[in-house]
């Protein structure tokens, strides 16, 4: 039995293409693996708190030295990290905002990329950073207003979503990441319909493929 963590970063509701596609992904996953647990975190509507000076001081103090106030400052972040560590599969719905990820998702990542919890740091080691999460895979559904941001596409050089997420997730050990793109929201009509159809087909292929491949 696996745990799937569904992260929706769009503040839009029914008009959000990433929410719709992530929802379809999760429905197909549930049908194929009814024993799995699905946790839904709605970053678009309830973003995690931004970091504060107290948070940073606490996170960079070793656990045995933390005061009760420091532990309190990290409570939300600890809960998010615990949830992530217990997760086998992540599914993220990510609107492209100004060529990058939305601030709500960045706030989440700032809370879960944690020294001593999701990566280790040893300044004396030849390789100072060690990822502390292993065996997870992620699926990222990216929604864009234009199209052609995927690797090899005409706007790939303007895509700071995929390179950034590959770096940040890879830093903590999540290297097995699949991206699905749905574009053309700004154009609507046939172009949008075609984009959604392609993304939908890819979601179906991925859930069918992973149904067999995930052996937890």
Ligand X SMILES: Cc1cc2nc3c(=O)[nH]c(=O)nc-3n(C[C@H](O)[C@H](O)[C@H](O)COP(=O)(O)O)c2cc1C
Residues in touch with ligand X (CB under 6 A): 10, 12, 16-19, 95-99, 143-146, 185
Beta strands in the chain (DSSP E): 3-8, 37-42, 89-95, 119-121, 129-131, 137-143, 176-182
Q: Cα 33 vs. chain centroid, distance in angstroms?
A: 21
Closer residue to ligand X, CB minimum distance, 55 or 181: 181
Closer residue to ligand X, CB minimum distance, 78 or 146: 146
Closer residue to ligand X, CB minimum distance, 30 or 160: 160
Closer residue to ligand X, CB minimum distance, 25 or 55: 25
Q: Least distance to ligand X from the beta carbon of 119, Å? A: 29
Residues listed for the chain:
216
184-187: long-range contacts, CB 8 A cutoff, minimum separation 24: 184/144, 184/145, 184/146, 184/147, 185/17, 185/143, 185/144, 185/145, 186/145, 186/146, 187/146, 187/147
Q: CA–CA separation, 42 vs 162, rounded Å?
A: 20
Closer residue to ligand X, CB minimum distance, 17 or 210: 17
Q: Least distance to ligand X from the beta carbon of 103, Å? A: 10
Q: Least distance to ligand X from the beta carbon of 185, Å? A: 4
Q: Least distance to ligand X from the beta carbon of 145, Å? A: 3
Q: Least distance to ligand X from the beta carbon of 10, Å? A: 4
Q: Least distance to ligand X from the beta carbon of 115, Å? A: 31
Q: CA–CA separation, 55 vs 78, rounded Å?
A: 11
Q: CA–CA separation, 29 vs 158, rounded Å?
A: 32
Contact call for residues 58 and 64 (beta carbons, < 8 A): no
Closer residue to ligand X, CB minimum distance, 80 or 192: 192
Count CB neighbours of 45 within 10 A.
12
């Amino acid at each position: 039995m696996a745990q799937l963590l569904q992260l929706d970063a769009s503040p839009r509701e029914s008009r959000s293409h990433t929410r719709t596609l992530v929802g379809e992904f999760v429905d197909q996953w549930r049908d194929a693996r009814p024993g799995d647990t699905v946790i839904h975190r709605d970053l678009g509507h309830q973003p995690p708190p931004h970091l504060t000076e107290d948070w940073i001081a606490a996170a960079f103090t070793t656990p045995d030295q933390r005061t009760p106030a420091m532990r309190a400052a990290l409570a939300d972040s600890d809960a998010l990290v615990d949830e992530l560590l217990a997760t086998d599969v992540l599914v993220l719905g990510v609107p492209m905002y100004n060529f990058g990820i939305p601030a709500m998702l960045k706030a989440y990542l700032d809370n879960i990329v944690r020294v001593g919890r999701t990566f280790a740091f040893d300044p004396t080691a030849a390789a100072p950073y060690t990822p502390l999460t292993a065996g997870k895979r992620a699926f990222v559904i990216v929604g864009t207003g234009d199209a052609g941001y995927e690797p090899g596409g005409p706007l790939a050089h303007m895509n700071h979503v995929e390179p950034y997420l590959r770096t940040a997730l890879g830093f903590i050990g999540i290297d097995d990441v699949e991206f699905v793109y749905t574009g053309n929201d700004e154009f609507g009509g046939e172009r949008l319909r075609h984009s959604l159809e392609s993304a939908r087909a890819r979601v179906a292929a991925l859930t069918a493929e992973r149904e067999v491949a995930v052996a937890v």
